[in-house]
Amino acid sequence: MGDSFFGFNTGLPSMTDDELRMAQKERAAREDADVYDFASLRHELGDDDFDDGLGDQLEEAGDDLNDETFGDDTIGKDFDFAATTAQFTSKLPDDERMRHHKPNEIAQAHSPAQQHPQGSWQNEDLDRQHREANAIWSDFAQSQHQQHRQQPGYFQGTPPSSSMMQPPRGAMSLDEMEAELHRQRQQPAFSADQGLPGKKMMSLAEVEAAMLQRNHDLHHQQQLHFQQQQQSSAMPPMPMSPFGGFANVPPNNAMQQEQLRMAALQRQHQEFMEQMNKEREMRRIDDVRKSRYDNLMTQYDKDLVQRIQLHQLASGDPYADDFYYQVYSSLRMRASGTKPAEGGRGRDSRRDNSMMARMNQQVQRIVNDAKRRPKQTQVTLEGALGKITTLSTRNPRQVLQVSDKKPHDGSPTHIHASESTSTITPKVKSLGSMNDRRRLLNTVESLYSKILELEQMRRQGPARSRRDDDEEQERKLEEWNEQYSVKVQQLWDSLHIMEDNKEQTPLLVAVLTVNKGKKLIPRIIRPLTHDQNLSILSVILAHFSQLQVCRPVIYPGTQVASTEDAQRFVSYEDMDLFMNATAPALLSFITEAPMKVVIALTRLLMEKNDIRYVAQTKPGLAFLTMLLSRAEILKQGGGALHGYAPPSVEELSLWQDVYTALFQALQGRFASIFPAVYYLVPSNPSMDMNQLLLNIDDMYIWQFLAAIAVGASMEQQHVLVTEVRDRVMENIILAKSNRLPLDRATHRIDNTNLFLHSLGLDASQVSAPL
Amino acid sequence: MLFYSFFKTLVDQRVTVELKNDLAVTGVLKSVDQYLNIKLDDITVIDQDRYPHMIAVKNCFIRGSVVRYVQLPSQAVDTALLQDAARREAQTPNPQQANVRVK
């Protein structure tokens, strides 16, 4: 044969010495290299058997002192690199061991296989070197299992058929350990391969060794598996392409094509599966690796760390520090009510519950400890002057400390602080009113604190403990009730409703000037009794015209035309807040009132106030509407819902009188109840006043008109219609003229219909000129 | 502890945190602690071009002292309850030392 690819002589028969020499010389001649080879040289010189005696002339003496020079000791193993490596690699986890030793395994597996088929002299040479290297290294090798780690990187590895090597290697190291242990303890040999932790005869070390081996085996198998998959996945891509190429060649053979396609699909599927398996294997390997260090901390340790962290946050009364969160979550729980996530998700919820329970235990522990040893906020060190405040998150160092001394009343500094912050209605306050406002705000705040206390009492309920028997519990409940009613009484007293201040505006009216007062009133109503609430309502109605919200409204986007005293107006937002926050609570009171009460309230409203002025405001109309409609309902027998008897004849006649008085007072002025804007100009000069007018929702007016029309006699109805006719027409025409978006137009029509239906008419009956 | 309590109710809401160094980050509020340190999940930076180094960042931990603003969804807040909580906080007296005294 000619030269093989690499220029090796691939011929089989090996050469004799002579032939070898010839070949060498030829090679040398070709390469122009000087080859000095003693054997060939001697042969050339014809000197093979001649002993030239030169060897005898060597000085072989003077070796006596060698031992002294070089010492008797054995050659140290300090530079025994292979052995040291072997030592610590045996302790490495397995995959890294793989990395270190794979080339060696491969080399090792490869070399025995290679030695025989390729018997050329070059390989023999290499073999010789091989064996020499063997010899060199084996001098340093300490034990038998180190033979496997020779020839670092000597050969480049290829097919990974070496995986076979690993189990024996692993087993050998463990077997070794076993052997040692057996030798040490001289016990009958229990094979380490049996299943292990259960058998008490084995020592702990053996158990651990066995477990380690199990892990290794697992590793080996996984890696075996892994590599096999690598192999097989490497294989499929190859056959794919030639087949793909060939598919075009026999186009006639459809069957063959089909089969090929099937095969290709199958291979794809296989590939995919193998990919999945690969990933799964990797994940498992990672899991096992990561969980090697599990359970380093005991549950006690974990609890300790948690306690340290919770120590800062824990407190005895969660409501004191964590108020917002506690109340918010309880409100949400109540709101979501029927669908909590508690029992639903089995496993997760149980785990969460146990966590929560454990945390609560921790907190309890901490709190109890804290109670036993109260922590001082201020600490004095011995030998140092002064005290040190211990700072915590609850008690942080404040950057500024504002002194608590109250300024003198009426001091000149207050004049500078007289400009109010309201941008819509600039109010210039005088000295006295500044103080009044302050005092008012303080009063409102004190009312708030009382309300908060009451609500907190309600939330917590009477103090209960499991050790009490029924009597004890009852007693505590009574105590709680007492405390509660005392607080309610204090609240009531602070409102000063029963006191008789003829001249001054009542506190309630002032409170309703402030926005937070408007929000406060509905909260006050809840704990108070029915009668107390009735008094509140009466006071409000009696002084209705003095209310802040009973003033001409400044609609959004507008401002007051002239620079009049802005106290005469109210902003739309404030009025809206009243309607949304305060009015509903009061109005619901009227909805449940009997006839007597309705009559009394209406009379009060009329007598104490200028009803025409009141009727020009939205709150005024709202209250009037409610009173009128309630009266009508009662007349028609609606009082039975609350257990009231139908109104008696006197009541009915009384009511009629009141109604007539009301109607007469408003007669001729019905048109004026519609929003007037003569005093306003647009804030933005480019906006049209009419446009802004159109934005005002006048539903409440139509509701009032409907309410009053229901109880009206024929002439009264006639009067009503005459007076508001213009407005009605205006609305209908506007709605039909397509100047408004559709929903707004229908809204307008509906509003008007409220009134018209009460008269027995309808908007469609009106013929509108286009 | 009012703000701590408040932020605890906002966990799992999407908020925007603006820092004192002008970086603004939007993310889901994952946790808050007593120092108002904030952990956000799944973040996006408001002005991506200015902060290219934040492209790969998915979660972050922000020290409380560097926060300037936190923008939150208004429907997640119960304002009346917050006012009440503030009133309660204001009522408890704090015995503290201060750096500066203001008269």
Q: Do the beta carbons of residue A211 and residue A288 sit within 8 Å?
A: no
Least confidently predicted of A495-504, A536-545, A590-599: A495-504
Q: Which residues of A touch B102 (CB under 8 A)?
A: 400-403
Q: Are the beta carbons of A328 and B78 separated by less than 8 Å?
A: yes
CA distance A558 to A678: 11
> Taking CB atoms and an 8 Å cut-off, how many pairs form between chains A and B?
87
Give me A102's structure tokens: 């794979």
CA distance A142 to A84: 10
* Partner residue opposite A400 with nearest CB, options B4, B80, B102: B102
Query: What integer pLDDT is reported at residue A155 of this predicted model?
Result: 43
| Structural domain boundaries in chain A | 434-460+480-527, 549-672, 697-769
Q: Which residues pair with A89 in a beta bridge?
A: none
User: Shortest CA distance to A663 belongs to which of A700, A708, A622?
Assistant: A708
User: Shortest CA distance to A160 belongs to which of A218, A224, A94?
Assistant: A224
CA distance A265 to A512: 81
Name the minimum distance, in Å, from the CA of A454 to any CA of chain B: 13
Query: What integer pLDDT is reported at residue A406 of this predicted model?
Result: 64
Name the minimum distance, in Å, from the CA of A542 to any CA of chain B: 29
Give me A624's structure tokens: 């009037």
Nearest chain A residue to B11 by CA: give it: A325
Name the minimum distance, in Å, from the CA of B38 to any CA of chain A: 16
DSSP A684: S
Q: Do the beta carbons of residue A669 and residue A612 sit within 8 Å?
A: yes
CA distance A327 to B81: 8
Tokens 């397995």 sit at which residue? A94
Q: Are the beta carbons of A331 and B102 separated by less than 8 Å?
A: no
CA-atom Rg of chain A in angstroms = 52
CA distance A149 to A172: 14
Q: Are the beta carbons of A399 and B100 separated by less than 8 Å?
A: yes
Q: Which residues of A touch B77 (CB under 8 A)?
A: none
> Which residue did the predictor score with more confidence, A407 or A416?
A407
CA distance B72 to A62: 97
Q: Which residues of B touch A458 (CB under 8 A)?
A: none
Residue by residue, DSSP assigns B34-90 as TT--EEEEEEEESSGGG-GGGTT---EEE-GGGEEEEE--GGG--HHHHHHHHHHHH
Least confidently predicted of A167-171, A194-198, A394-398, A608-612: A194-198
Give residue A427's pLDDT band: very low, low, confident or very high (50, 70, 90). very low
Torsion angle of the four alpha carbons A700, A701, A702, A708, in this order, in degrees rounded to the nearest 10: 110
Q: What is the ipTM of this complex?
A: 0.90
Q: Which residues of B touch A326 (CB under 8 A)?
A: 5
Nearest chain B residue to A329 by CA: give it: B9
Interface list for chain B against chain A, based on CB atoms closer than 8 Å: 1-2, 4-6, 8-9, 34-35, 78, 80-85, 87-89, 91-92, 94-103
Q: Are the beta carbons of A394 and B35 separated by less than 8 Å?
A: no
Q: Which residues of B touch A411 (CB under 8 A)?
A: none
Contacts of A323 by beta carbon, 8 Å cutoff, 6+ apart: B2, B5, B84, B85, B88, B89
Contacts of A147 by beta carbon, 8 Å cutoff, 6+ apart: A138, A141
Looking at residues A16-33, what average pLDDT do you find?
Answer: 66
Determine the residue type at B86: A
Q: Which residues of A touch B103 (CB under 8 A)?
A: 403, 405
**Class of the CATH-defined domain B2-73:** mainly beta
Query: Which of A311, A324, A376, A404 to mutate: most B Cβ within 10 Å?
Result: A324
Looking at the complex, does the CB of residue A375 fall below 8 Å from at least one CB of chain B? Answer: no
* Partner residue opposite B95 with nearest CB, options A322, A377, A516: A377
Q: Rounded to whole angstroms, what are the CA distances from A740 to A693, A736, A749, A755?
A: 13, 9, 12, 21
Least confidently predicted of A115-119, A513-517, A549-553: A115-119
Provide the whole-model pTM: 0.61
Q: Are the beta carbons of A325 and B8 separated by less than 8 Å?
A: yes
Q: Is pLDDT at A24 greater than 60 in this prediction?
A: yes
Q: Are the beta carbons of A519 and B103 separated by less than 8 Å?
A: no
Looking at residues A745-754, what average pLDDT do you find?
Answer: 83
| Structural domain boundaries in chain B | 2-73
Name the minimum distance, in Å, from the CA of A517 to any CA of chain B: 13
Looking at the complex, does the CB of residue A272 fall below 8 Å from at least one CB of chain B? Answer: no
Give me A733's structure tokens: 């025409």
Q: Is pLDDT at A113 greater than 50 in this prediction?
A: no
Looking at residues B14-37, what average pLDDT do you find?
Answer: 95
